[in-house]
């Protein structure tokens, strides 16, 4: 029982970060109907930013997100304005080519600049943990989960209560009607991609004390983000939140009970099972 | 107020509008009637700049709209209530209304306008927390009109507001259109319900396969032989 609880809690903690990655991807998809295959690479850029802020300026990774978040937002907004806004009406395969290409340029650019060596961001709490009722909780994971929860709450508030947030949702629900309300949908797209990039970069920052940092680390996370988003229902933010936690828990429990080599299998079996019974995802609308 | 001069428009190789000339004066209800596929909705889409004309010009209050984006058209005071309502399905009635007053000039009057449209549509007030997508067609149409009014439009474009509604709702909707007009909003109404719309319109245009074939006062067109034969089954 302790083992189960242990893996459940570890899963939830890491799932929070996954949720952040998935929410970013789902916002981008919701507003633009574009699947961002560079999502993991944005996360990777966030990791490198965090790593160098730490090694060069000695800024703690959890504090440096106040720098990474806005910078990644601007970077994402720039990518949207310069590249993605041009292909919004294009064929899906062209959109896929563009985002994959952007991802390749990011990972190879980073490789060129910083070599492909694995880097480790080691803080004095990187491997520290504490016990509650016999369950050991990793300090960095707990801190990152708390930050994730905070960001998610603020994000929900932004999307539900502010004019800009509502305009983003309106654009996602009916782009043409949004235009007829006087909403500048291109601007909403820039904000949406900025948000997505910012969330991906923040997730990268949050996991950097516990993950290896290397230029190709993004591809794993692009796949993960995709699974989370589809599992939750494309475009659904609540779905991505649930999906992230669920994938985190499945990985963690799978790793403990079947061995770490099998955890991906557990994740994908769960993924296929959900899609088998609810093809549109947990929170998806069946007719869209 | 609004002048359309020699408007041509094609969807790819398919030419849909041929040299459309149309004029709307301040305070009027102008209706564009015609069969399905005559180009009525496409004309409105060109005005809202959801699509861009192939040639010709559209001028609103002296300004050529050539360079405007859709959202800027709304800022100028032209608001469209689109065909099929296009309610935001996962937003509540109140949130839909709030989106109607998204533009800066309408935000100040937001609370007052919510009260105003709730006064016009008491049924919307009863359902203010309901999701737009779960309402009936007639209620959605009311919401779409109310949402359009939240923007304080000078010119309201209405695309088939009576489409798919029960006779009772059709009657209500046409009464509402007249009421909105009495409050000082100019209206350009596109309809397949030729009889009803000619009855309330000051002036009307008849569109056939992308061309204006007839124009005149609403009542005159009601007694026009061609209109009677083609649209009223008389």
Examine the domain organization and report whether B177 and B141 are in the same domain. no
Structural domain includes residue B82: no
Examine the domain organization and report whether B9 and B54 are in the same domain. yes
Structural domain includes residue B22: yes
Domain end: B150, B165, B194, which one?
Answer: B150
Average pLDDT, chain B: 93
* ipTM of this complex prediction, to 2 decimal places: 0.91
Q: What is the pLDDT of residue A29?
A: 94
Share of chain B above pLDDT 70, in %: 100
Examine the domain organization and report whether B130 and B27 are in the same domain. no
Whether B33 contacts B189, CB under 8 Å: no
Examine the domain organization and report whether B226 and B160 are in the same domain. yes
Structural domain includes residue B83: no
Of A166, A173, A179, the CB nearest to B71: A179
Q: pLDDT by residue (tens digit) across A29-40?
A: 999 999 999 999
Integer Cα distance of A51 and A143 in angstroms: 17
- What mean pLDDT is predicted for residues A141-145? 93
- What mean pLDDT is predicted for residues A63-73? 96
- What mean pLDDT is predicted for residues A171-185? 95
CA B224 to chain A, closest CA, distance in angstroms equals 35
Examine the domain organization and report whether B44 and B112 are in the same domain. no
Is residue A260 scored above 90 in pLDDT? Answer: no
**Boundaries of domain holding A227:** 19-235
Give the pLDDT band (50/70/90) at residue A125: confident
Is residue A288 scored above 50 in pLDDT? Answer: no
Examine the domain organization and report whether B52 and B32 are in the same domain. yes
DSSP state, A129?
A: E
Concatenated DSSP letters for chain B? -EEEEEEEEEETTEEEEEEEEEEE-TT-EEEEEE-TTSSHHHHHHHHTTSS--SEEEEEETTEE-TT--HHHHHHHTEEEE-TT----TTSBHHHHHHHHT-SHHHHTTHHHHHHHHHHH-HHHHHTTTSBGGGS-HHHHHHHHHHHHHTT--SEEEEE-TTTT--HHHHHHHHHHHHHHHHTT-EEEEEES-HHHHHHH-SEEEEEETTEEEEEEEHHHHHT-HHHHHHHS--
Structural domain includes residue B15: yes
- For testing the chain A interface, which of B90, B129, B132, B151 should be mutated: the one with the most A CBs within 10 Å? B90
CA B96 to chain A, closest CA, distance in angstroms equals 9
Q: What is the pLDDT of residue A286?
A: 60
How many structural domains does chain A have?
1
Average pLDDT, chain A: 93
Structural domain includes residue A252: no
Examine the domain organization and report whether B52 and B163 are in the same domain. yes
- What mean pLDDT is predicted for residues A58-83? 96
Structural domain includes residue A62: yes
| Chain A positions in Cβ-Cβ contact with residue B151 (cut-off 8 Å) | 181-182
**Boundaries of domain holding B189:** 2-77+153-231
- The chain A residue lying nearest B73, using CA atoms, is A182
Structural domain includes residue B72: yes
Pairing of strands B55-60, B63-64: antiparallel
User: Distances in Å between the alpha carbon of B102 and those of A173, A222, A230, B19?
Assistant: 16, 35, 31, 34
- Are the beta carbons of B50 and A178 separated by less than 8 Å? no
Is residue B6 scored above 90 in pLDDT? Answer: yes
Q: What residues of chain A have any CB closer than 8 angstroms to a CB in chain B?
A: 163, 166-167, 169-170, 173-174, 176-186
How many structural domains does chain B have?
2
Structural domain includes residue A253: no
- What mean pLDDT is predicted for residues B41-62? 95
Q: What is the pLDDT of residue A210?
A: 87
Whether A147 contacts A19, CB under 8 Å: no
- What mean pLDDT is predicted for residues A178-185? 96
CATH number of the domain within which B214 lies: 3.40.50.300
Structural domain includes residue B173: yes
Examine the domain organization and report whether B59 and B159 are in the same domain. yes
């Amino acid at each position: 029982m302790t083992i189960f609880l242990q893996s459940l809690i570890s899963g939830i903690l890491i799932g929070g970060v996954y949720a952040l990655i998935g929410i970013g991807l789902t916002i981008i998809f919701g507003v633009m109907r574009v699947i961002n295959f560079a999502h993991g690479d944005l996360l990777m850029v966030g990791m490198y930013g965090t790593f160098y802020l730490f090694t060069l300026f000695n800024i703690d990774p959890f504090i440096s997100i106040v720098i990474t978040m806005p910078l990644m937002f601007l970077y994402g907004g720039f990518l949207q304005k310069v590249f993605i806004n041009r292909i919004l009406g294009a064929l899906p395969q062209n959109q896929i080519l563009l985002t994959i290409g952007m991802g390749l340029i990011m990972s190879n650019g980073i490789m060129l600049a910083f070599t492909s060596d694995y880097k480790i961001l080691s803080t004095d709490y990187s491997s520290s943990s504490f016990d509650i009722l016999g369950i050991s909780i990793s300090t960095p994971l707990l801190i990152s989960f708390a930050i994730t929860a905070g960001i998610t709450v603020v994000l929900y508030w932004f999307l539900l209560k502010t004019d800009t947030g509502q305009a983003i949702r309106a654009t996602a629900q009916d782009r043409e009607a949004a235009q007829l309300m006087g909403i500048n949908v291109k601007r909403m797209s820039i904000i949406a991609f900025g948000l997505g990039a910012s969330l991906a970069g923040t997730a990268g920052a949050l996991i950097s004390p516990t993950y290896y940092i290397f230029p190709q680390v993004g591809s794993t996370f692009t796949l993960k983000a995709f699974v989370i988003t589809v599992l939750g229902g494309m475009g659904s933010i609540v779905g991505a939140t649930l999906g992230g936690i669920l994938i985190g828990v499945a990985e963690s429990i799978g790793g403990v009970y079947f061995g770490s080599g099998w955890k991906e299998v557990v994740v994908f079996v769960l993924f296929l099972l959900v899609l088998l019974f609810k093809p549109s995802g947990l929170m998806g609308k069946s007719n869209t | 107020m609004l002048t359309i001069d020699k408007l041509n428009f094609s969807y790819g190789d398919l030419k849909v509008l041929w040299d459309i000339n149309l004029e709307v004066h301040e305070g009027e209800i102008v209706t564009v009637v015609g069969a399905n596929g005559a180009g009525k909705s496409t004309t409105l889409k060109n005005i809202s700049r959801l699509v861009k004309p192939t040639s010709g010009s559209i001028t609103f209050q002296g300004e050529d709209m050539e360079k405007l984006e859709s959202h800027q058209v709304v800022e100028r005071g032209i608001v469209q209530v689109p065909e099929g309502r296009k309610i935001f399905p996962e937003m509540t009635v109140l949130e839909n209304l709030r989106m109607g007053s998204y533009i800066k000039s309408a935000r100040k009057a937001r609370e007052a306008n919510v009260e105003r449209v709730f006064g016009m549509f008491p049924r919307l007030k009863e359902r203010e927390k309901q999701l737009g997508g779960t309402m009936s067609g007639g209620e959605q149409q009311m919401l779409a009109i109310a949402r359009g009014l939240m923007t304080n439009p000078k010119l309201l474009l209405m695309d088939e507001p009576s489409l798919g509604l029960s006779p009772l709702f059709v009657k209500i909707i046409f009464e509402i259109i007249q009421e909105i007009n009495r409050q000082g909003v100019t209206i350009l109404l596109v309809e397949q319900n030729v009889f009803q719309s000619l009855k309330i319109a000051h002036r009307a245009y008849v569109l056939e396969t992308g061309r204006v074939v007839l124009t005149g006062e609403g009542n005159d067109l009601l007694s026009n032989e061609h209109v009677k034969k083609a649209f009223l089954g008389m």
